[in-house]
Amino acid sequence: MTMNIIVVHGMRKGTLNQELHQFINTMLEDETYQYEVVFLESETRNPYRVIEQLIQSGERDFRIIPFMIFSGAHFLDDMPAIVQHFKQQYDDVSFMICEPLGHHPLMVDIVKDKAMDALVHTDYDAVILYVHGSTKYRKPEEELRAFREQLTLPVPIHVLTLYGSISYKDYLEEVVEGQKRVLFLPIFFYDGYLVNMTKKRIKQMNLDCQIDYTTSINFDQRLKEIINDRIDD
């Protein structure tokens, strides 16, 4: 039987990892497949330590499920590095790396529902989709643009990132020029440090436009369906 490894970014400090672990366990409590939750940022539950323990207990087939929106450096660098590390040590282990969760059609539905919940109550000139991005790779930006093409809303849709060539720090002022009110939609799993930092910095920009924010994905229950589809692929 394949062991499913759900890889979350996490944080080394605070209680976030415990909270994320609890959320995923609650979300998947009725499922019968095997899984372990690991964190890239963890001393005790990082992928290398947990997978090594599983191999020592007899596991040989692994499916890596990145709990990530798009293909940033953690997906493009860290996931292959994990696989290579163990394949160099063990001849009889196998790994499959699944696509990021943001590639699933249900993620489009989640984002559309979040946008429409705001649009039905307020007249906005545009919606801005906002993701982490990458300073090293352009693939997250390509995937974000492709994501936008799948999304139908009654107002124009713009895309910006935290890091990369379409960073909000460089382009937000241009995007909102001439607009009275826009909706800013962070496509993050939770409203954590990066989202709150972004809001603070945007406020300091003193833009001549009102910017309202939706919450992040905040662990929509449809994530369970996405994970299950990754396991069934």
Kindly give the confidence (pLDDT) of every residue in the chain, 233 residues in length, as a single tens digit, with 9 standing for 90 and above.
899 999 999 988 878 899 999 999 999 999 999 999 999 999 899 999 999 999 999 999 999 999 999 999 999 999 999 999 999 999 999 999 999 999 999 999 999 999 999 999 999 999 999 999 999 999 999 999 999 999 999 999 999 999 999 999 999 999 999 999 999 999 999 998 999 999 999 999 999 999 999 999 988 999 999 999 999 98
Angle of helix 16-27 relative to helix 222-232, nearest 10 degrees? Answer: 70
Q: In whole angstroms, what is the distance from residue 128 CA to residue 53 CA? A: 43
The topology (CATH level 3) of 3-98 is: Rossmann fold (3.40.50)
CATH number attached to the domain at 104-213: 3.40.50.1400
Query: Domains of the chain: which residue ranges?
Result: 3-98, 104-213
pTM recorded for the entire structure: 0.94
Q: Is there a shared CATH topology between the 3-98 domain and the 104-213 domain?
A: yes
**Kind and range of the H or E element at 6?**
strand 3-8
